[in-house]
Structure 1
């Protein structure tokens, strides 16, 4: 088991990967540096090897697939994940590592949005998207994460080995955050500097397509982790629709004793039944979610014993 592992997912980062590796070595000289090459068509892997990093490959395209591979293969007391595009200075890495090793942090978030991100980033829709995602997650899950989409984080062994990677692409950062929040894992924020990509280095993000994937991921994870709240919203919407169309029918019946719109009445009844079903679906799934939390805590205890055994070897 490594003490510190620096994990760098890469796709066509030949212009910046050498500097990122050198900066990582300077900031964390005791760390083992892993570069995971994701089908790069340039010299990323060759340069990383020349700089002394351990280079491995993930052939399924997408950042989520790369992170799944990294988390499966690497055992370490603390993991530092940083993008290979040189947008995150490594100066804050020692502080992030210290929080994991000595202050029980499970995930340390490199907070760009509280420093230079809005000045450095030249894509206004990315700024809007970051704020929208951050506000949505903090509201839905009752937390205070300052930067949801950052690619600079540190993790504990327990987080990495219990995190089920489901996303394939850039929505993985959102999934990480919600996993930590829902399972009551300790999250700390460290304000970091951010710099835009150097000239000649191109972003792999598609503002609109990846933005929609992130929003879909939030909705899906809210359904999975907070099923009562999710289905309660549907239940209330359906109930309001039913009542809206039912009130005129009932009013007409009280006034004349007649029901002139039987088809509308029947549809309203079915919509109200759907509302009741949604409510009880939320209750049942919420109970199952509580049981999943219990199993997760037991899994954490087993991982802790496994880690202590590995450290004694």
Structure 2
């Protein structure tokens, strides 16, 4: 059984050597891959000298790096971790065991159950993590402890079926929603988190990347649960129409006259729009069910490909 450790890397010359050597010690049988994403420092050279298999990804952004990793590398277990040495490697063996035993298609390295909020000095990042976690758990009826962690494990089936659309750091959120929506097996393990060492700078922008993550959650909620999403939109429009229509109707009952004709026309138009939106949701719901059926067939093909690779090895 082959395990691959995947390390996206952008300007991490201060920490990349330690990350590689720690994983070589913890998982000596694993192949360590570092994908350098246009670093302007010595990250590429240091990673290569540390014994990693180093490749370049010229399209900027973590999502682009992970896309290339999943396409290029065949393994039974993938363990992805950031190159900034903020995650302890002690949980790697447990992550590997869960994936190789078939108990998980995605293993989440849960930072938030440990000392994350003490170690992470960026106050708004803590708030953002809590907000995103709560939003996804409510919208997708889950109970996950950490949504945006950078340390995860994946099965072959997940890696080869995951259609990556995010280009940057919102990919962690996209992975989680993809797993929940497609009924993949998810497990969580606690991982040690420590803040970056002095001189190592985060690539995240609190406000810009936070807005991207929230926008992604909304768009994926619309795409994965269209009937619910468009039903909510319909309900909101009907409430707005009712607010404007009821005073006109009450006045008609008491006087026998219809006043504020333009307002009545506007309310009627909103009702028509609401009905159209609702039936759009119904149509998209049917299309989504058909897509899920095709996706299950695709997963069967992925499983067949995996067996062929195992027989070849």
TM-score for the superposition, normalised by structure 2? 0.98
How far apart are 1:103 and its partner, in Å? Answer: 3.6
In 1, Cα distance between equivalents of 2:184 and 2:102:
12
Instruction: Report matched runs for 1:50-69 at 5 Å.
Output: 50-69=49-68
- The ranges of structure 1 where at least 4 consecutive aligned residues each deviate by more than 6 angstroms after the TM superposition are none
1:224 maps to 223
Structure 1 position 44 matched with structure 2 position 43: yes
In 2, Cα distance between equivalents of 1:150 and 1:51:
25
How far apart are 1:280 and its partner, in Å? Answer: 1.1
How far apart are 1:260 and its partner, in Å? Answer: 1.7
In 2, Cα distance between equivalents of 1:235 and 1:62:
37
In 1, Cα distance between equivalents of 2:143 and 2:253:
51
Structure 1 position 236 matched with structure 2 position 235: yes
With 85-94 and 293-302 compared, the bigger mean Cα shift is at 293-302
1:14 maps to 13
2:273 maps to 274
Residues 147-178 of structure 1: CA deviation (Å, up to 9, x unaligned): 00000000000001110100111000000000
1:180 maps to 179
In 1, Cα distance between equivalents of 2:82 and 2:95:
15
How far apart are 1:104 and its partner, in Å? Answer: 2.8
In 2, Cα distance between equivalents of 1:146 and 1:277:
38
1:255 maps to 254
How far apart are 1:120 and its partner, in Å? Answer: 0.4
Residues 175-219 of structure 1: CA deviation (Å, up to 9, x unaligned): 000000000000000011100001110000000110000000000
Q: CA RMSD in A?
A: 0.8
2:127 maps to 128
SS at match of 1:42: coil
In 2, Cα distance between equivalents of 1:290 and 1:27:
42
SS at match of 2:267: helix
Residues 209-260 of structure 1: CA deviation (Å, up to 9, x unaligned): 1000000000010011011111111101000000000001111111111112
In 2, Cα distance between equivalents of 1:232 and 1:131:
27
Instruction: Report matched runs for 1:81-230 at 5 Å.
Output: 81-230=80-229
2:32 maps to 33
In 2, Cα distance between equivalents of 1:277 and 1:57:
48
2:74 maps to 75
In 1, Cα distance between equivalents of 2:214 and 2:181:
18
In 1, Cα distance between equivalents of 2:103 and 2:287:
28
In 1, Cα distance between equivalents of 2:141 and 2:295:
20
TM-score for the superposition, normalised by structure 1? 0.98
In 1, Cα distance between equivalents of 2:89 and 2:293:
37
SS at match of 1:90: coil
2:264 maps to 265
Paired residues, what number? Answer: 312
SS at match of 2:54: strand
